[in-house]
Amino acid sequence: MNTISLGKKFKKKARLKIRELGDELMVMDAKGEKIHAFNETSARIWQWITPQTSLETLLDKVVEAYSVSRHQAKKDLIQVVTDMQKLGLLTEAK
């Protein structure tokens, strides 16, 4: 598992196109070449991400929203954020 500090903050890349489809979210890159579908959990995490919100705060929200253990929520959150970074949708906020 990739280790990311819970103090880190991330921001969404500029010029992404967002469409909600029920509980899912579709994110399209600026050129419209790639479309990424997020399930309900990933969509909620995406919506909670702001440059001012640390992973620690996101972790608290995931635990509260889904009534899961902190350990499991941390593992899942880090995986989702890592995947979003690899897809080029997030960058680290400074």
By DSSP bridging, strand 24-28 and strand 35-38 are antiparallel
Percent of the chain with pLDDT over 90: 77
For the cut 80, the answer to whether the pLDDT of residue 36 exceeds it is: yes
86: exposed, middle or buried (Cβ count in 10 Å: 0-12, 13-18, 19+): exposed
1 confidence band (pLDDT: 50, 70, 90): very low
- In this prediction, residues 32-50 reach a mean pLDDT of 92
Helices 40-48 and 70-86: angle between axes, nearest 10 degrees: 80
